[in-house]
Amino acid sequence: MFRIVLIFSAVCLSVSLKHPDEVTSLPGLDFPLNFRHYSGYLNATNGKFLHYWFVESQTSPSTDPVVLWMNGGPGCSSLDGFLSELGPLHVTPDGKKLYNNTFSWNAEANVIFLEAPAGVGFSYSSSKKYDTDDDTTSYDNYVALQHFFQKFPELKKNDFYITGESYGGIYIPTLSVRVLTGPANINFKGFAIGNGFLDTTNLTNSIVFFGYYHGLIGSQLWSRLEKYCCGGIGAPQFCNFVTPTSSQCEQAVSDATEIIQGSGLNVYNLYEDCAHSASGHNRYSVDKRNLLRLFPKSLKVNDDPPCIDSTNVKKYLNQVEVRKALHIPSSVQDWDVCSLDVELGYKRLYNTMRPQILQLINSGQLRGLIYNGDVDMACNFLGDEWFANALGLKVIANYEEWKYKDQVAGFVKYYDRLTFLTIKGSGHMVPQDKPAEAFKMISSFLKNQRL
């Protein structure tokens, strides 16, 4: 009898200890999972609640690193990263079923997908006001991160990394500085930034060179750019495409930008066609508008063509049963890949992340990775390479190829505590375009191994 009571008590304890955010079933999932996952809300400031979806590692959740992933925009959802890029579950084209991603990053890490700032995806504010800026966003993310480790205190001892892409080039360094210098006592080990918006001047100047080097800008237009914007010498140190000093330079830059951004090319991947989306508001339009802020005011903004189609993810997440499974209140807005409210109310405070990156690296406590798909035009590799080179860090190993399955997968340069890396043939979303190479890259970085 005593033994029966003990067994009954153990069963009751097991049930009572079940995490309230655990996802126990998902519509469209018809195969077993070998990991647990959780979806719910993290408290930020002033009545803001950030939605997260957390997947445990498939290997050793108790000891594997914890990785935070953030998409950019600003105003775009990290669930796009989950369900289209590096997450373990991807959505079929019809938006009805899920299938396994062989190269999911949670094969070797616990991964948090955070929808931020409030107003993005399923995240919300009780005030319904979504005006924000870089510093407010980073502080809200920091507060939410502390709440995450309150919900999962057993993971606080694990190595922790902050990762993401695109405007994550701002989100990641600003949040990283708060984690490094704050009292949260998180076991912070490093950061990884993919195709990052790291420096306005570098990205703007370099995209013109990128276009010329890739055969998009003809000799006649290039001669005008050299003459009016570069003092007759077409080299990076002599050119200024950011703040044209003459109407002739402004017009030449506008003509070059129209080819790169407005001619129908896929800004996310030069060598891929544009996917036509059924949604008028999409990730492409948001990123494009933000990029065009850098170029002459005379350039007309046109949201066509929408080169990224996330309608399958939108269809899946907005099913009533999916929302219930993810613990999303019925009062929360429908999910969209990007939030127009957040985008329009967002104030950018920084033109470069140089001070933040140097603070992180010079702390001596962290390692960093800056990686770029080499055919992305939204945040091109050349601008981020210039950024890394200009930090003045000690070079440990010069530019060299790295391989995946005996084929050149890209090129890598090692600085003291910072790695710059390219992925050959990839566009803006590296884990989507080159999943196997991306997995090898992140696995090596987390293990502090050279490629």
Active site residues: 166, 376, 428
Is 5 buried (19+), middle (13-18) or exposed (0-12) by CB count in 10 A?
exposed
DSSP count for the chain of H helices, then E strands: 15, 15
- Given its phi and psi angles, is residue 244 left (phi above 0), alpha (psi -120 to 50 degrees) or beta? beta
Q: What is the DSSP string of 2-21?
A: HHHHHHHHHHHHHHHTS-TT
Instruction: Kindly state the DSSP code that residue 331 receives in the 8-state scheme.
Output: T
- Which residue, 20, 27, 41, is CA-closest to 121? 41
Place of tokens 């579950």: 89
> Rounded to an integer, what distance in angstroms lies between the CA atom of residue 272 and that of residue 268?
8
DSSP β-bridge partners for residue 407 = 404
Question: 408: buried, middle or exposed (CB in 10 Å: 19+, 13-18, 0-12)?
Answer: exposed
* Tokens matching residue 61: 């959740």
Helix residue ranges per DSSP H, 17-114: 78-81
Q: Among 374, 449, 368, which Cα is nearest to 172's?
A: 368
Output the DSSP codes for 243-283. Answer: S-SSHHHHHHHHHHHHHHHHSS--TT-TTSPPPPPS-SS-H
Distance between CA 354 and CA 413 in Å, rounded?
A: 18
What are all long-range contacts of 57-60, with beta carbons under 8 Å and residues at least 24 apart?
Answer: 57/106, 57/107, 57/108, 57/109, 57/110, 57/111, 58/34, 58/88, 58/104, 58/106, 58/107, 58/108, 59/107, 59/108
Task: Round to whole Å and give the CA distance between 288 and 262.
Answer: 10
E strands along 296-382, which residues?
346-347, 367-373
Q: Is the dihedral of CA 237, 242, 248, 252 positive or negative?
A: positive
Q: How many residues does the chain have?
A: 451
